[in-house]
Amino acid sequence: METYPESFVPARNTGKIKSFYTFEGLRYMLAKGRDLETTDLLSDLFEPSTFIGQEFDHNNVDWENEGDGFLALENARIYYHSPDAVKAIFDFLDTVTEKSFLELFNPDEMNHAGIYPNIWNRNIGNDWACNEQHILQEFHDLKHFFAGISNGTNYCLCYVG
C-alpha cells in the first residue's frame, strides 16, 4: 500500500471498530518517561502520519480564498498504520501492565499540561468520566483492539474528528 496507495482496496473488514474518548490521555500516559523511539511511535498512535490522498503544503494555502478546498483535501485523506506499525504498537502495549499504567495516572498533572479534555479527576463511579476507572477501561480496550489486528496483515485506519 505504501508503494502504490492508489491500488488500496479494502478487501476485508475485520469488524473491529473502536473509538477512544480519552485518546489524548492514553497517549500522554503511555508516552510518559519513554525513550524517543517509543514516544515517536505513540505520537502517531491515534493520528498516524501515513496516508492515502493528495499531499499539499499547509503553509502555502490561501486560507481566506481557498481554505475550504484544502480542508476537503485534508478530510479526504485516509490515515493508517501499516501492518508493521500495528505490530509495533501491539508489541509495546503488550509490555504495559495495568499496574504500571495506573501508576502514570495523575489528573492534576494532565489537566495542568492541557491534555484533552482537561477534566481529569479522581472521582469514582460510573457517572464520572475522565477518571482512573474510565481511562483504565479504554487502556484495556486499546490493548484488546491492537491484539485483535496484530497478526501481520492488517492495516489500521484512523480518524480523529
**Mean pLDDT across the stretch 137-159?**
92
Alpha carbon 160 to its chain centroid, in Å, reads: 8
Per-residue model confidence as pLDDT tens digits over 91-147: 999 999 999 999 999 999 999 999 999 999 999 988 889 999 999 999 999 999 999
Residue 63 is predicted with a pLDDT of 63
pTM: 0.81
The whole-angstrom separation of Cα 50 and Cα 130 is 29
For the chain, domain boundaries: 18-50+79-158
Residue 77 is predicted with a pLDDT of 78
Residue 159 is predicted with a pLDDT of 83
Residue 141 is predicted with a pLDDT of 94
> 156-158 and 51-52 as β-strands: parallel, antiparallel, unpaired?
unpaired
Residue 146 is predicted with a pLDDT of 95
Residue 6 is predicted with a pLDDT of 57
Per-residue model confidence as pLDDT tens digits over 81-94: 999 999 999 999 99
**Mean pLDDT across the stretch 47-65?**
76
User: Facing residues of 158 across strands?
Assistant: 79
Burial letters for 13-39: b for 16+ Cβ neighbours within 10 Å, e otherwise?
Answer: eeeeeeebebbbbbbbbbbbeeeeeee
7 vs 74, higher pLDDT? 74
C-beta separation of 52 from 77 below 8 A: yes
Residue 18 is predicted with a pLDDT of 78
74 vs 91, higher pLDDT? 91
